[in-house]
Structure 1
């Protein structure tokens, strides 16, 4: 079994063995051997003594953990800490207050049990997040709609400020002829991004539309299925939330026509469709609000380039930091 060398070690196991043999086998003095390998007398003497007692096997690092820990937190207390963490998602201070112990001790226990962070716990239920990935491209695609307010001519408030942003919005409404409400800010419309994510590869397909009707949703599905088919992927199942367009008879009939099994997420459980929810966040941060756009058309013009970058060049942490498109390697029999 190979042993790792401490990152700050002055000598590798092989150099330690050479030093020890100079002292034990060749009769060098410890001081001379220490000078030869540019280490302290204490270090040279330690490895020479290890070599005498254990031979070459003693040249590897040992764990610094004590053999006995009489003050370690008792197992029943550890179970109570873990229970409060899992079921109530309490932090170290709150758990320590309930159990009348130091918060630093609770934090140490949580760290040792690898639950010091809640990123892998469903905050709604307290249950561990169950991650899944279908084995082949096309086994399941996720669909959803991301709504974004359109960018007014001259730029939105995020980059030009509230005052100028309101003026830009008003001017855009007057130019486009969009009705102005009498009791709220003028509205310039919503961009509906129909997004599709392949569960296995994380390859994304996006269309910007003017609505989220059942006709639009089914048209996007047909386009996405054709787009994936052109890349050697046959879509078998699709999962969506319980939006009106996805509950329609037209959606069901279209899925049947395309030979796709339609599935729905659990009500009020967006985590079931978590891959596409996470993609929406990446889409917003990486494209929609990443830089200044002086109009909605300018932002939409940048969308295809960003999607291409996401699919072909951006490393995805969930698939080993590879680009999603690299997982569409549908060679004959590769995923069978």
Structure 2
């Protein structure tokens, strides 16, 4: 009977192999058992080596054979490797993420034979298009905090961008903490409170009022730590939104938005350079659609898209606005005004005096039934007044009307 050759033999000393290759055909009964016990090998190993010697000759027994399997069904073919590299290159050219996870998801969605994520990482390293980063923390080391539902918290941040010709502008990006949805984006000439309010108005018109708004401590967003009430905070407060900020010098609190900026810039770098704010707004709006509906997000369960994550969970209920606003229709609002020559503006039939130093500048007023606040272009509070009684036509700024009196020079004799 022919003995099958095993590829997983135990290690055998060379002298034992030589003795087996010379084993006599007329060895007495029990000799094999005694030989195996003496040299501490199994009878199976003995007979496998003996069969090999008789089939291929004594020399075939003297050196261990390779344990590598003769066939590897799981081996990745060259065609699959080329497909993986092509998909990676296409994602890179389009400005989207092109790591192993992104390539895996894209190949799966395209119906390709898809290797595992670890295999893709190895393919990219072997092809020289990726590098090993042993100091990089594994994903399992990160602990993420996520609000339980859409609209429970939005994050707002602004980042600077350079247009063709070297002109700078600012992109406000508003995202939902739970679903990572790009709620709204707005391109402005500078980081002002007016731009921040505009992007909030866009987001609320599309998705409703959030319960919280997380920003940094910038002057245009939420400088309350400096004792300043910004135009943005005043606006969202009238809607019942709780404005919160991260710790100064601790940008990781707004890390989701910071990462969102990186993804946007990577995509914009692969697009034609925008020459105007309007052109850049068009590009950013197109990116938001891709980000929300086409690009699987690696931080979401099942690597779903932000839109899928948004749709999967009911939205958090909108906060309760100021109760007085419901009983005074039209008593809550905001308006932009140019300060007149004498340093005043008019709001709903009442003139508010700001000061001659503000003449010709643009200001933003926000009011509710109890209070009116007026801010300059940078979002700094200029004046704050209780809302005047019906019929009030003029509200001063606490200083005498007209120019400040001239101070007479002191007499040399004084």
The alignment's TM-score, normalised by the length of structure 1, stands at 0.50
The alignment's TM-score, normalised by the length of structure 2, stands at 0.41
Larger relative strand fraction:
2
Find the structure with the greater CA-based Rg.
Answer: 2
Q: Which has the higher contact order (CA 8 A, sep 6+)?
A: 1
Larger relative helix fraction:
1
